[in-house]
Structure 1
């Protein structure tokens, strides 16, 4: 549920324990319970970029976008995977979305430099209609063409 700016309490590495989850991560990678996602790996969203953080969300819908976009951008034609994860260290609001289009952190998106442990795969998620997914991909392509596909990492 979207937060209003009067309800949003910024999540920082020093102040994140009040956010309890469950947490989700969407990806094209096949993982097993107990696996750990770590920073320092290639980004699912920018070829050749190493990500300094692991991104996750307390909103299943946000993780679904991650799964769908990562597979679409890789050109695999696969469904993608959504996992319930547990952060193993402190985390903060994802500055790439927090207070950008809407006040607060309505996508409940976070990032951490510490690992995330995979608890289980979520199988019963609903993907977006092909035209909705294509609209998002077109928007990302426009941002890239304009040089505005900046990831604060």
Structure 2
């Protein structure tokens, strides 16, 4: 199950987050409620319920929505959602603690710690670029950021979502052909902190980074390129983003 910023329900959640950032929680809650009404699969229902929980003033109501989110998350045997379990179980633990149920609070904190210590994503992994490369080539840190050209990156970035790598290729600097390469990390890697637990719980884009090289082991050709209009909106959003890149 692939997370996509172009999914209609996820787009509503993103709009709701924008309303939160601009100080309009009522509008945000309406958008999250609309997302819930339009959600059709477990991933969409999990995300909508998670954000509806954040807007409940009553702790029991918040707990109910978090339990709903957990129910749908557990139906999905996918790393897109597994990365969110630490944040979800931590939120459940806080609710139970507030309600005076120390046993359930402790149990959920232990589950949060368990998932935090045991990342499950083993790939395959992909890297999107406009560079013409071949099998055996190494991708190394030290390049300039696609989003802040003056910033030299200390890590090389990759994802386990083919279409996410395709989006990265479309956004990459340069005039070459957009390529998605299958890559193998040469060393340790970690969740991309610029995305993990920022707007969405966990690391739903399955985005990672490494201070070690990536070795190209193949090329993917059947990824889906985003439409021109959607791509332009995404570029505009990146240009307007004032947040700092964690390097």
Q: Offset at 1:10?
A: 4.0
| Residues in 1 aligned to 2:213 and 2:167: alpha-carbon distance in whole angstroms | 21
| Residues in 2 aligned to 1:50 and 1:28: alpha-carbon distance in whole angstroms | 18
The unaligned stretches of length 5 or more in structure 2 are: 2-79, 88-114
Give the match's secondary structure for 1:68: helix
- What number of residue pairs does the alignment pair up? 141
| Moved beyond 6 Å, runs of 4+ | none
Query: Is residue 2:154 matched to residue 1:52?
Result: yes
- 1:2-151 superposed matches below 5 A: 2-3=80-81, 5-6=84-85, 9-10=115-116, 18-71=120-173, 74=174, 76=175, 78-143=176-241, 148-151=242-245
Give the match's secondary structure for 1:117: strand
When normalised by structure 2's length, the TM-score is 0.53
Instruction: Let me know the Cα RMSD of the aligned residues.
Output: 1.9
Higher strand share: 1
| Residues in 2 aligned to 1:101 and 1:115: alpha-carbon distance in whole angstroms | 28
| Residues in 2 aligned to 1:91 and 1:10: alpha-carbon distance in whole angstroms | 15
Q: Offset at 1:125?
A: 1.4
| Residues in 1 aligned to 2:235 and 2:131: alpha-carbon distance in whole angstroms | 19
Q: Contact 2:179–2:219 at 8 Å: present in 1 too? A: yes
Q: Contact 2:169–2:178 at 8 Å: present in 1 too? A: yes
When normalised by structure 1's length, the TM-score is 0.83
| Residues in 2 aligned to 1:28 and 1:122: alpha-carbon distance in whole angstroms | 13
| Residues in 2 aligned to 1:10 and 1:23: alpha-carbon distance in whole angstroms | 21
Q: Contact 2:127–2:183 at 8 Å: present in 1 too? A: yes
Q: Offset at 1:149?
A: 4.0
Give the match's secondary structure for 2:169: helix
Structure showing greater radius of gyration is: 2
The unaligned stretches of length 5 or more in structure 1 are: none
Which structure is higher in RCO with an 8 Å CA cutoff and minimum separation 6?
1
Give the match's secondary structure for 1:118: strand
Q: Offset at 1:41?
A: 2.1
Query: Does the C-alpha gap of structure 1 residues 115 and 10 become closer, same or farther in structure 2, counting only changes over 3 Å?
Result: farther
| Residues in 2 aligned to 1:127 and 1:31: alpha-carbon distance in whole angstroms | 19
| Residues in 1 aligned to 2:196 and 2:144: alpha-carbon distance in whole angstroms | 23
